[in-house]
Amino acid sequence: MSTFQAPKGTYDLLPPNSATYLAVREAISGPLKNSGYGYIETPGFENVELFARGVGESTDIVTKEMYAFETKGGDKLALRPEGTASVLRAALEANLHKGGNLPVKLWYSGSYYRYERPQKGRYRHFSQVGAEAIGTEDPALDAELIILADQAYRSLGLRNFRILLNSLGDKECRPVYRAALQDFLRGLDLDDDTRRRVDINPLRVLDDKRDAVQRQLTGAPMLRDYLCEACKAYHEQVRELLTAAGVGFEDDEKLVRGLDYYTRTTFEFVHDGLGSQSAVGGGGRYDGLSEMIGGPALPSVGWALGVDRTVLALEAEGIVLDIPAATAVYAVPLGEEARRVLFGTVTALRRAGVATDFAYGGKGLKNAMKSANRSGARLALVAGERDLADGVVQLKDLESGEQTPVALDAVVDEITRKLG
């Protein structure tokens, strides 16, 4: 055992479980790749101010959870706590929005970091797949992203998830609601930190999970009563497009999400089998974020889906993904000459696209066959001096136990035929 362990609140992904995480990432990204989204990768750390402005200075993410540090050169940086601000920063820096082909559609996958109280489904290091459509205001884009996420989850076999949907208004109607909500909240018995939040972003108080706060919110003004006609019409179009696509959703008037940059459409995917950490992903429209971080007006929408939470949802539903074995063929040489010959055969099989492994370290037949079975391989190639003298190797079906000699120069063709 090593002297060191993974830091508190983090985890290591190891085989065979890591294969499930890879399959989840592939399932989530698959619909995006088929819908015009190109892959983007950003640094694991950014300027602190990017998140302070973009995510919001009143959010728990910035005030309590962000890993911030100062470099030897005096730069103030932070490990990325979320993906949207970084992706938008990168798109602006590269002038992707100036090509005239809007929206700029991007997807990404990576690790994110928040200093949270570790518990199942909530870690200090976590993995997400995200998507952003930058530069266009269109309810069809909002609906598209929700539909693609729904498609991804269903392709994994998930059924017990729900989509919560709300509208947060825009710069025209939300200030009126904000003032009304502040008046209401200032009359409640709140702690000093929450009172400061009332002044900075009162909508975040609606998202407070503490019972002592939620009990006092009965009778709070609802944003739906303050939406302007343009926001009402926009939201109704999103709802109609989702309904026409056969994607069910629930209206949730208290849904505000945990980031300050959302406007109009906001949504969350929740799974009823995960207890208090029920959110598996979510997102929304962020029409003013580009201006917040020094860019031009670029209405945009996006989401991020948690890979860790999705794996927990699969476990909650008892879903085991059908993941092909990492190895299809396992080669077992008996003797130095067989080792030389079979290693060449292994290389030829790999070049032909067949996943093949080799009994390294001079294992005896018994131990090598145990390794072959543990690898999940369908076939084993076994060769000794007598086999090589006859110009053959033994091809063993590890499922049926049937073993047949195959001419050495025909092994690759025979194996690819058997594996289809």
Say if residue 317 carries a ligand binding annotation.
no
Write the CB contacts of 28 (distance below 8 Å, at least 6 apart in sequence): 129, 149, 152, 305, 307, 310
Distance, CA of 145 to chain centre: 14
The answer to whether the annotation marks 261 as part of a ligand binding site is yes
Question: What phi and psi values does residue 187 have, to the nearest 5 degrees?
Answer: -90, 5
Which DSSP category does 58 fall into? T
154 labeled part of a ligand binding site: no
Nearest to 326 by CA among 362, 371, 393, 361: 371
Q: Which of 287, 393, 385, 292 is nearest to 345 (CA)?
A: 393
Phi and psi torsions of 64, nearest 5° = -125, -25
Whether 154 and 322 have beta carbons less than 8 Å apart is answered as: no
The answer to whether 117 is annotated as binding is: no
109 and 129 in contact (C-beta within 8 Å)? yes
**Listing from the earlier edge strand, what are the strands of the sheet with 125-134?**
38-39, 104-113, 125-134, 300-306, 279-285, 263-271, 161-167, 250-251
Please tell me whether 132 is known to bind a ligand.
Answer: yes
Could you give the C-alpha distances from 253 to 158, 240, 248, 260, 383, in angstroms and in order? 25, 18, 16, 17, 69
Q: Are 343 and 360 in contact (CB under 8 A)?
A: no
The reply, when asked if residue 128 is annotated as ligand binding, is yes
φ/ψ of 177, rounded to 5, equals -65, -40
If you ran DSSP here, which 8-state letter would residue 102 be given?
A: P
Residue 262 assigned to a binding site: yes
Binding residues: 82-84, 114, 128, 132, 257, 261-262
Binding residues for L-histidine: 82-84, 114, 128, 132, 257, 261-262
